């Protein structure tokens, strides 16, 4: 294989590792946001329980005042009894007293309901606070795991970026530009092996005379797939079995940063 093609293949294998690391890094913000959202939801539960509790306290105060004011009225009516001259007026006053006492009973019922509700809200507050504590604990662990994974990925990104800088020094600058253009067009893969007379990437036929030229070529000429425009290369069948596997592993070993080997 031409030296330049081998160098391009090395660059491609570095780029594929870089793509993988970048894809991993891109997922971390979402993971952290999900973790934040779980804690926020648990906090919202606590807030909602507390708000409901506060509302019952306010209602309770209102019903307590209702009871007080109706009791005042009853006292006032009873004070008036001594000044009553007629049976009719007395019955009317008794009726007022009865109505006020009914209102007291109703307000006391509501007060009782609010006290029962208040106990329920107390339980909810305690339960939601316990749940929040648990979620915070789980998410603390989750976050530190994500942060550790991110640190590893960032280290790998730095290493593979350095590896790329080294790999491009082996290739003429205009060819790197050409390669980069194809990479951008094809989502990271600029080179394709010709197998069974087809482009290994897009699957379209590579014309036999092109394969003939590729096999013959001793020059530095590069060939392209006429359909997808990727740079194509050909490995002789005798080389693509056992020896090719060996050369492929050498390739990946030479392309790997030292920490990988
Ligand atoms: Zn193709």
Burial class (CB in 10 A: 0-12, 13-18, 19+), 73: middle
CA of 190 to the centre of ligand 1 (A): 10
Distance 12 CA to ligand 1 centre (A): 16
Q: Among 213-217, 227-231, 242-246, name the most confident range.
A: 227-231
The neighbour count for residue 256, using CB atoms within 10 Å, is 16
Ligand 1 centre distance from Cα of residue 247 (Å)? 24
Model confidence over 119-129: pLDDT tens digits?
999 999 999 99
pLDDT tens string 102-145: 999 999 999 999 999 999 999 999 999 999 999 999 999 999 99
pTM (predicted TM-score): 0.68
Question: What residues does the ion ligand 1 have nearby, CB within 5 Å?
Answer: 199, 201-202, 225, 227-228
Cβ atoms 93, 80 nearer than 8 A? yes
How far apart are the CA of 185 and the centre of ligand 1, in A?
12
DSSP summary character for residue 205: B
- pLDDT-derived band at 243 (thresholds 50, 70, 90) equals very low
Q: Is the pLDDT of residue 246 over 80?
A: no
């Amino acid at each position: 294989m031409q030296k330049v093609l081998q160098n391009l293949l090395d660059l491609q294998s570095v780029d594929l590792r870089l793509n993988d690391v970048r894809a991993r890094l891109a997922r971390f913000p979402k993971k952290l946001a999900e973790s934040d959202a779980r804690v926020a939801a648990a906090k919202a539960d606590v807030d909602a329980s507390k708000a409901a509790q506060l509302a019952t306290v306010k209602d309770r105060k209102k019903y307590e005042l209702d009871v007080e004011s109706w009791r005042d009225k009853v006292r006032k009516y009873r004070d008036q009894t001594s000044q009553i001259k007629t049976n009719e007026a007395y019955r009317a006053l008794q009726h007022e007293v009865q109505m006020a006492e009914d209102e007291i009973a109703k307000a006391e019922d509501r007060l009782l309901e609010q006290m029962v509700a208040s106990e329920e809200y107390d339980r909810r507050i305690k339960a939601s606070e316990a749940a929040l504590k648990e979620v915070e604990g789980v998410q603390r662990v989750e976050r530190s795991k994500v942060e550790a994974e991110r640190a590893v990925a960032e280290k790998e990104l730095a290493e593979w970026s350095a590896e790329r800088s080294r790999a491009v020094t082996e290739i003429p600058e205009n060819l790197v530009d050409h390669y980069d253009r194809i990479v951008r067009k094809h989502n990271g893969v600029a080179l394709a092996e010709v197998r069974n007379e087809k482009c290994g990437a897009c699957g379209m036929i590579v014309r036999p005379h092109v394969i003939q030229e590729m096999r013959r070529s001793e020059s530095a000429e590069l060939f392209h797939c006429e359909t997808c425009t990727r740079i194509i290369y050909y490995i002789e069948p005798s080389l693509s079995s056992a020896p090719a596997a060996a050369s492929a592993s050498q390739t990946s070993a030479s392309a790997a940063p030292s920490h990988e080997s």
